[in-house]
Structure 1
């Protein structure tokens, strides 16, 4: 612990680490995501104009950032969102008019863009959009299942040794990018013996997690919620419960 405090003191890293890591990971995923045109090797279509409230947020986030330099990005976003909600209908109408003007220009440019494509390219765009829409629905269902499982007490995955090291630190006001770079360097510089203590603890946590997860899944099976468990891991338990229920009915 003394060594950990020494490393922590060498940095400005303070605040919710694990959440920052997850948020940063999501940002990187979004940044690396390809557009439909990129996936199909086509020229980029014109960009849609921002809808009124997003147009307003983009403008006033920058304004509030200058007016309130002490606020975090999340606080700035909340403050700006509240400002939009408090606008009079006549004020909102100004932003709507700007959007509608840009939308007319966009529609014309998009129509010309589509006219430059051959039928097979248009069909490929349509097919890919349909696939993405279906994937989005499936992802939404998975998120709902995950949320429901958590509400029903599903144990949370404890993470690996590096995750435990991250959780032991705080971030404070350090930007996510700098924060992650600092954590990665700290981990890299840790003596192997110290790393092993995190790995050992992570292994113990994983064993406990697997035991708790198995108990939870068995309970879900008995409650008729086999849609929330790993069926491939519990085939034997599924058969046993099915047979027990059959005998009870008899």
Structure 2
């Protein structure tokens, strides 16, 4: 069975992806149950990862559902297909999963052949790109987790507050044009009028500080200390530590200086005594 989370979260993505594919492109990709498709590289890139068993079932069932329910929404089409998949027995799922396994084995061979043909520089570039993708996915997962835990939204800056209030009436038909218009309006705004938004931003900072304090206290009670902000040592703490270090080093220096004076005075007296003799 396909994971329920995947079905619920990715339903819109699946819908958009399938709606963008033309019949010609689907035939070229060769998404079929019987027989594995030949893996090819695109524009010199790596071979495309094959579909799993569930996605093959989705591709097979989508035209049938659309013929039976031509007026149904695209999201409802995916939901109906997901329900049908859950109702299949293990034997009924086996053809889809077996075809996916065959394609996956061919994919692994093609991928190894592709990697073997790369230069060290190309391999390093691909590894760096994959690392960046993993970091982005990790950041997205963390952001979703924080949102689910109700982390307060960060305070807005004055321009963001101004933009939210005037976005609908901004000139331009595209997002870029509206943003440019709002930036020009903000620059022409007098300092007195800007001060209103500055004060609103200050109030939003107070709101954020109070909400974060309560949220972090709740995270501590939940045992999620890993989500608590770590405050770096302030200037006062650093200066205090510096003064303590200086005071510790200052005493030995004074003692050394005093000893040098005593030695110098003794040598002077001894020199004077020899001259007298």
When the two structures are superposed, what TM-score results if normalisation uses the length of structure 1?
A: 0.49
Task: Mark the structure with the bigger radius of gyration.
Answer: 2
Normalization by structure 2: what TM-score? 0.45
* Higher relative contact order structure (alpha carbons within 8 Å, sequence separation ≥ 6): 1
